[in-house]
Amino acid sequence: MVTNTEVKELGHFINGEIVAGTSGHFSDVFNPSLGAVIARVPIATKEEVQSAIATAKAAFPAWRALSIGKRVEIVMKFRQLMTARMDALIDIICIESGKTIEDAKGEITRGLESVDLAINAPHLLKGEYSVNVGGNINAYSAKAPLGVVAAISPFNFPVMVPLAITTMAVAVGNSVILKPSERVPCSALFLSELWKEAGLPDGVWTVINGDKDAVNELLENPAIEAISFVGSTVVADYIYTTGSKYGKRVTALGGGKNNMIVMPDADLEQVANAFLGAAYGAASQRCMAISTIIPVGEETANKLVKVLADKIAKLKVGPYTDSDVDFGPVITKQSKDAIIGFIDRSLEEGATLVCDGRNPDIAKNSNGFYLGPTLLDNVKPGMEIYEQEVFGPARNVVRVDTLEQAIDLINAHELGNGVTIFTNNGAAARKFITEIDVGMVGVNVPIPIPVGYHNFGGWKRSRFGEGHMFGPDQARFFTKTKTISEKWFEENSESASTFAFPSNND
């Protein structure tokens, strides 16, 4: 429960068991709702990471050799255990991330979509076959796992993202090393216990806790074949550049400045309700959260801001134990201070404060890292709060005169994760879908996150590499293709040497 003040010393999960760290260095894990330390997570040394990689490498051949049907049976058992232990997992998520119960439950549900997709790995691993491509030669392709792969996950989705970037990798036959955020290690260790109970062979699944040194070893170690990362754009750029330098297959998903365009014909009541959850849910700590709402036309803007102000004033911030709260705290005090700094500087740059969440009532009687919802009007391109991703409940209103202006503004930004438009005009929606330079697009959908069997990934500096987080690209990313040309000679048949380049003319 949230009142638990016991400080636990955590470990790594290596070769099928929790092992203590040997570095002597730890990072504090906080309960953001209380502002209290609840655990200490070990920071792995380079040698510990190397040892974990060696264990994963040793486990790979037997796991690769196991039939896909047997591997999928283990994934199915893992899914059953997750649903059976959902309440315990929800509690862990809420305690270490500050999410509400409903938000944690939603995260697990979306994470299970990735598990469901991995259960369909046999279908996604099917190759191609051609008979007699020439000279009685048959050609076919087969997909093979890569070997040892690594996944690096962020704090804001302690379960969904790890499941999205590891489950398919396990199902197709790889050994997986997960490096979770040191802010939320408990969820990853809980998943480790479920994998163990599901029957996953020791060494196939590893959790190593650490900081940049651990990440660098994963990026540089020649035994790691691929890296999947989700986090900030700055770090995603580093992961992609460094991993690629060392010959890794890399997909690195970064941040987003996601926009909601509101056309004059839209129902503003519906728009406002959609915006609240998309903008402030999980204390706005989502890479797909709506950062900026862009009403088209001055009349639309004036009406919308008034409706939003009335609704935002009624939002409630608090701990997950309070069933009436809309969202909880941000992850750390450093995050809280940074968000307040963004708000303060935006006002200095000329933004107008509509709703001020810098000092909510709960913060006066709690050490939790609470911020209320802030809404800033008259934000303009060039302002810091417009250009940078703010991972907290400070949202913007940018006013434009036309849909064309809105599209041009969004396309000019370096990030292109998600975007949505609210309208009843089919022509406007079609123009928007066609011309917008963003990877995930919604029409009257506030958060355009695709379901688990569609690919998830932004454009521009929101994604580095060609892999995706959800969808069939997961199977492609974690496998390599072998193409075989096969011919069988009849007994006593004759053949002669040929020096022409092989062709299908025979």
Residues 185 and 279 both lie in one domain: no
One-letter amino acid for residue 307 of the chain: V
Under 8 Å CB-to-CB from 321, ≥6 apart: which residues? Answer: 1, 2, 33
CATH number for position 78: 3.40.605.10
Single out the residue in 387, 416, 443 at which a domain terminates: 443
Q: If 0-12 CB within 10 Å is exposed, 13-18 middle and 19+ buried, where does residue 401 land?
A: exposed
User: Which structure tokens are listed for 189?
Assistant: 């260790």
Residues 330 and 411 both lie in one domain: yes
Q: Is residue 383 part of a domain?
A: yes
Contacts 24+ apart (CB under 8 A), 266-273: 266/300, 266/422, 266/423, 266/424, 267/422, 267/424, 268/300, 268/303, 268/304, 268/307, 269/307, 270/422, 271/304, 271/307, 271/422, 272/304, 272/307, 272/308, 272/311, 273/311
Q: Is residue 15 part of a domain?
A: no
Residues 123 and 222 both lie in one domain: yes
Q: Is residue 19 part of a domain?
A: no
Residues 60 and 189 both lie in one domain: yes
Closest listed residue to residue 452, CA positions, set 43, 108, 32: 108
Residues 51 and 196 both lie in one domain: yes
Q: Is residue 489 part of a domain?
A: no
CATH number for position 287: 3.40.309.10
Among this protein's residues, is 94 annotated catalytic?
no
Q: Is residue 105 part of a domain?
A: yes
The span from the CA of 342 to the CA of 403, in Å, is: 28
pLDDT on residue 499: 76
* pTM greater than 0.85: yes
Q: Is residue 148 part of a domain?
A: yes
| pLDDT, tens digit, 9 for 90 and up, residues 314-339 | 999 999 999 999 999 999 999 999 99
Q: Along the chain (506 residues), what's the average pLDDT of each consecutive run of 10 residues?
A: 69 97 95 96 97 98 97 98 97 97 95 95 92 88 96 96 96 98 97 98 98 96 97 95 96 93 97 96 93 97 98 96 95 96 97 96 92 97 94 97 97 92 96 94 88 78 84 90 90 74 67
Of 94, 186, 287, 355, catalytic: 287
Residues 241 and 287 both lie in one domain: no
Residues 66 and 107 both lie in one domain: yes
Range of the domain at 238: 47-254+462-483
Q: Which residues are paired to 484 by β-bridges?
A: 140
Residues 157 and 275 both lie in one domain: no
Residues 225 and 323 both lie in one domain: no
Residues 199 and 266 both lie in one domain: no
Q: Is residue 238 part of a domain?
A: yes
| Count of domains observed in the chain | 2
| pLDDT, tens digit, 9 for 90 and up, residues 384-406 | 999 999 999 999 999 999 999 99
Residues 272 and 401 both lie in one domain: yes
Residues 241 and 155 both lie in one domain: yes
pLDDT on residue 68: 95
Q: Is residue 495 part of a domain?
A: no
